[in-house]
Amino acid sequence: MKGIFSALLVPFDDQGRIKEQGLREVIRNNIDVQQVDGLYVNGSSGENFMLTTDQKKQIFKITHEETNGAIKLIAQVGSINLDEAVELGKYATELGYDSLSAVTPFYYKFTFDEIKNYYETIIEATGNNMIIYAIPALTGVSMSLEQFDVLFQNEKVIGVKYTDGNFFMLERLRKKYPNKLIYSGFDEMLIYGAVSGVDGAIGSTYNIHGNLAKQIFEMVEQGEVARAYEVQHIMNDIIEKVLELGLYQTLKEILNVKGIDAGTVKQPMSPFDSGKREAVEKLVKDFNL
Residue 137: its pLDDT value, please?
65
Lowest mean pLDDT of 133-147, 157-171, 245-259, 265-279, name the range: 133-147
Q: Is the pLDDT of residue 29 over 90?
A: yes
Residue 255: its pLDDT value, please?
98
Higher-confidence residue: 137 or 101? 101
Residue 248: its pLDDT value, please?
98
Q: So which residues are the catalytic ones?
A: 133, 161
Residue 164: its pLDDT value, please?
87
Q: Are 74 and 38 in contact (CB under 8 A)?
A: yes
DSSP 54: H
Q: Is the pLDDT of residue 227 over 70?
A: yes
Full domain range(s) for residue 115? 3-286
3-state secondary structure of 11: coil
Which residue pairs, CB below 8 angstroms and at least 24 apart, start in 279-284? Answer: 279/241, 279/245, 280/245, 280/250, 280/253, 280/254, 281/257, 283/238, 283/241, 283/242, 283/254, 284/254, 284/257, 284/258
User: Which of 289, 245, 236 lies closest to 270, judged by CA?
Assistant: 245
Q: Are 252 and 265 in contact (CB under 8 A)?
A: yes
Is 16 marked within a binding site? no
Amino acid making up residue 261: D
The string of pLDDT tens digits covering residues 131-177 is 999 887 678 778 899 999 999 999 999 999 998 889 999 999 999 99
Is 188 marked within a binding site? yes
Q: What is the DSSP string of 250-274?
A: HHHHHHHHTT----BPPTTSPPP-G
Q: Is the pLDDT of residue 211 over 80?
A: yes
CATH number of the domain that residue 174 is part of:
3.20.20.70
Is 202 marked within a binding site? yes
**pLDDT band at residue 184 using 50, 70 and 90 as cut-offs:** very high
Residue 289 to residue 287: CA distance in whole angstroms: 5
Is 45 marked within a binding site? yes
Residue 140: its pLDDT value, please?
72
> What is the overall mean pLDDT for the chain?
96
Is 146 marked within a binding site? no
Q: Is the pLDDT of residue 38 over 90?
A: yes
Residue 134: its pLDDT value, please?
86
Domains identified in the chain, total number: 1
Residue 59 to residue 169: CA distance in whole angstroms: 33
Residue 179 to residue 3: CA distance in whole angstroms: 15
Is 78 marked within a binding site? no
* Helix 277-286 with 247-257: angle, nearest 10 deg: 70
User: Which of 97, 93, 160, 80 lies closest to 124, judged by CA?
Assistant: 93
* Helix 82-95 with 53-67: angle, nearest 10 deg: 20
Phi and psi, residue 75, nearest 5° = -100, 115
